A and B are shown apart, each in its own frame.
Chain A
Amino acid sequence: MNTFRNEPLLELRRSTVRNEALAALAALDAKLPLEVPMLIGEDVVQGQVFSSVDPSAPATVVANAHAATAAHVGDAITAAERGQKVWSQRPASERAAALSRAAGILRSRRYELAALAVREAGKPWAEADGDVAEAIDFLEYYAQGALALDGGRPLIQMPGERNAMRYVARGITGVIAPWNFPLAIAAGMVSAALATGNAVILKPAEQAPACAKAVVDALHAGGVPLEALSFLPGGDEPGKALVADPRIHTIVFTGSCAAGLNILQTANTFVPGQRHIKKVIAEMGGKNAIIVDSDADLDDVVPGLLKSAFAFAGQKCSAASRALIHKAVADELAERLAGAISTLRVGPAADFGTDVPPVIDIAAQQRIQGYVDSARPLAQGDTRDDGFYVAPTLFHGLPADHKVIQEEIFGPVLSLETVDNVEHACDLVDAGGFALTGGLFSRSPRTIEYVSDRTPVGNLYINREITGAMVGRQPFGGGRLSGTGPKAGGPDYLLQFVEARAVTENTVRHGLVV
């Protein structure tokens, strides 16, 4: 029986709640920079120090983290071999209880962790809070899901034969997490593996190690043995070593398409001594489009597009970067959007009035600026130079092969394209390589059915923004080059982390069924 309910979001529209958030931020600021060592089995390990900074004020160091090398990865996997034995032998109920306790710990640190995401990832408050809530959701949802899975599945039974199917842990799991949901995605990928009895080594994003460490700390405090969960901050080196090691069974990755394809290739390269086939679970971004039909309510479309494209500066895998607009409403919508974009306030993540925060780091800023400078915008919002800011930018009518239309930008850039009709829009979506999220604004039931049927995307949102998937409500993940397909936060996700074992017992003895 599933009693899961999404963690309530902070009601930030109330000033009392906002004040509490600001107090938590002040308390956090007094503690900065945080120290983020490696956690390898039972050892706390120092290494070469690198820093995460506040994207809204890059001079502020949020955390000093210790970078793992390939050798550290080897140590962590050795520890995980022990951890795997211990953890997989624990009853599912005990593992679930540990996850649920970890969720409780995150819950008790609600404001503090949101403040940390504000500082370390430059997430505006509502997004930062959503990140904490989603991390809690993943822990609780997978804890319950693993319990349900533990009962196995019913099989056909014959006289004289007892058939059972159960699910067992695959083995040591390497998790490579992104910075854009520094708490939630790390928590989700790690807890899915743990819930099903796998030992985990987490390599967090270089830009947000302190957030990921908060998740790991909660899991350890909740009862996950140290050897069953190691933590290796760092850059490419530990990630690469983790993927290549023959002792790893499963790799869970969220990040760019290029990195994902690389991981798939490495993981599929057989290493002598390897005794299993590695499995890669990858979520690799998108080039998400929202279709606007002629019967759409533009009063809903404008805020829906703004939110989808510019919230958190467009740095969500699910964010919209294309709007495919029916020619009958294209001019009017373009004009209204152009007027609306200048109402977006660009500013520090910690300001409650901010609509568009900075992007994550200087490399992202320069890369996105390259797209912004590549054509003449239809309209553009403000920018500032005291953080990694990029002006929210609207393009209109670029040629189909323009890189703004073709490539994933992962920034506050939206391009509008005029289409003849919904079929035409679907053709354009279908021609793309990615298939993560998509949107449709239409009031026609048949159009909605048509697009639902034709779209290749994993998550289609109708008459609303296309971001903000909720655990248990909008299982999340895409196809094509957007990923290997499993839906995070959905009923099937845990199946990726287990192997099924069927046991058949002959119950006939001396010609009698016993």
Chain B
Amino acid sequence: MAATTQERPMDLERPIKEIGTDLAARMPRPRLVSTARVEQRMTEMLMKDPALRAALFRFVDVRPACDTPADLIRHLHEFLEEAESKTAQRASTFTGRPLARRPIAAVAGAGVKRMAQQFIVGEDAKDALPEITKLWKHGVETTVDLLGEATVSETEADVYMRRCEETLRALAGAATKPGQVNLSVKVSALTPLLRPTAPERGIEGARPRLEHLLRVAKEVGAHLHVDMESFDTREAITELTLDLLSQPEFADGPSAGIVLQAYLVESPEHLDHLLDWAERTPRTHPFVIRLVKGAYWDHEVVQAAQNGWAPPVFTDRRECDRNFEQLTRRLIDATPTVRVAIASHNLRSISHAAAYADARGVGNADLEFQILRGLGDDTQAAIAATGRQVRAYCPVGDLVAGMAYLVRRLLENTANDSFLAAHASGTDTAELLEAP
């Protein structure tokens, strides 16, 4: 198996270019977020003006904590005033004017809300159902993610578990075909006991709740996917998931999966561990491994720097991307023991996976692509148009809970080295498809 992964990449470049160029041609004009022109101009501006970007993100972040329009505009004004940016300074002369405040607050408040709605399909399962079923009707598979505040008590963990259960049942009630219901869960929301130095505490804490959700998922025929979070919790999340899925009662269901983060330097060993487990643990529904780069890059780098540690993540973009490709090939080689989900908006990463799968004769039964709703909608449409399977990750939650998610997504995708940012700013397709 190792030998094939090593000799392949050479002959892949041509099909990667072909697939990538085809996908790019199917996408509407490159843009960051599928939105109106004004907002698109704004995002472009943000990418060029880091101080303004910081000011606006801080505003988006505090938005749900502002009770009154006056409070909202006060924060906006302060952020703009503080920012070392000409545009922000100019804007702050408006937010500083008493008469302009009310209308600006209304617009700014609504703007944030609209932005959030692009990413978030509804406040709760019931509210989200029309949107989800619409996606299903259009042939788009989904996985629902329940946004929430941090879980700091057992009560809050119970509430999250119940929301998950309700969502599973609500979606199952509306599903039109088997396997359609798919929920992504966060272990950190299922227990307040995750401790970096004591993984067993988080494992014990979350076990009964995750076990319950697995039973519900099995009962309603849903897929349950365990998201991966910061490195501090990786071990607990992985061990808990594998341990529960090793129980005989879950061998024949539900369908379940986990996430592999390619930005982690040790991710090849993590994959060894997952594949080793999967081979030893036969399941009716093959274990799904979602490959991502990883959403906590800044956090990992900052934490490591402050504590004097070597960062657990690659600090070179290209190394991370190369590792993503290597893991992609190993995963595709491991089908059908595992099912593979390639979760990325990066055209190169996607095309590489598609090209390699084609070369290995691996199709939709064993491989799917995944994107985040609101960010990857065009990518999703393009991939789907080429007959490959795509799933949209659909967050559900209220504005307060959604804000952390929104800020994280926006920061990530207006970062200068993000693929979406490069694409939106008009970088040439050929360049975007170059081998990392």
Contacts and interface: CB of A to CB of B under 8 A. Distances in A.
A295 B195 contact: no
Nearest to A379: B153
B308 A298 contact: no
A11 B232 CA distance: 10
Interface in A1-46: 5-9, 11-13, 15, 18
Interface stretch (A96-104, A207-215, A443-451): A443-451
Contact of B195 (A340, A342, A353): A353
Given A8-B307, A353-B200, A443 B153 contact: no
Given A295-B71, A353-B195, A343 B154 contact: yes
B192 A294 contact: no
B175 to A, nearest CB: 33
B316 interface: no
Given A11-B307, A343-B154, 11 more contacts: A5-B308, A9-B307, A9-B308, A12-B197, A13-B232, A125-B197, A294-B67, A342-B153, A342-B154, A353-B201, A443-B58
Contact of B74 (A299, A303, A444): A444
Interface of B: 58, 61-62, 65-67, 71, 74-75, 78-79, 81-82, 149-150, 152-156, 192-193, 195-201, 231-232, 235, 307-309, 404
Contact of A299 (B75, B309, B404): B404
A11 B196 CA distance: 10
Interface in A267-313: 294-299, 302-303
A6 B308 contact: yes
B235 A340 contact: no
Contacts, number: 88
A444 B78 contact: yes
Interface in A345-370: 345, 351-353, 355
Interface residues of A, number: 36
Given A353-B195, A353-B200, A295 B75 contact: yes
B190 to A, nearest CB: 13
B86 to A, nearest CB: 18
A148 B152 CA distance: 47
A339 interface: yes
Contact of A9 (B154, B235, B309, B404): B309
Interface string A42-73: 00000000000000000000000000000000
Contacts of B154: 339, 342-343
B78 A445 contact: yes
Contacts of A342: 153-154
A416 to B, nearest CB: 15
Contacts of B82: 445
A498 interface: no
A336 interface: yes
Query: By CB atoms of chain B within 10 A, which of A13, A18, A295, A352 has the most?
Result: A13
Contacts of B58: 443
B197 A18 contact: yes
Nearest to A12: B197
A428 interface: no
A352 B309 contact: no
A125 B82 CA distance: 41
B65 A294 contact: yes
22 contacts: A9-B308, A12-B196, A15-B199, A295-B66, A295-B71, A297-B61, A299-B150, A299-B152, A302-B150, A339-B153, A339-B154, A343-B192, A353-B195, A353-B200, A353-B201, A443-B58, A443-B75, A444-B62, A444-B74, A444-B78, A445-B78, A446-B74
Contacts of A303: 150, 152
Contacts of A446: 74, 78
Contacts of A340: 152-153, 192
A5 B305 CA distance: 11
Nearest to B75: A444
A351 B200 CA distance: 12
B65 A295 contact: yes
B196 A336 contact: no
Contacts of B61: 297, 443
Shortest 9 CB-CB contacts between residues of A and residues of B: A339-B153, A8-B308, A353-B198, A299-B150, A13-B196, A340-B152, A443-B62, A343-B192, A352-B198
Contact of A302 (B65, B74, B152, B201): B152
Nearest to A470: B306
B257 to A, nearest CB: 24
A5 B152 CA distance: 34
Nearest to B62: A443
A426 interface: no
Contacts of B195: 352-353, 355
Nearest to A338: B153
Contacts of B307: 8-9, 11
A86 interface: no
A343 B198 CA distance: 14
A343 B75 contact: no
Given A15-B235, A345-B201, A7 B152 contact: no
Contact of B197 (A13, A299, A338, A339): A13
Contact of A126 (B75, B155, B192, B197): B197
Contacts of A343: 152-154, 192-193
Nearest to A473: B306
Contact of B65 (A6, A18, A297, A445): A297
A296 B65 contact: yes
A328 interface: yes
A84 to B, nearest CB: 36
B195 to A, nearest CB: 6
Contacts of A296: 65
A294 B62 CA distance: 10
Nearest to B83: A445
A46 B279 CA distance: 65
A9 B149 CA distance: 30
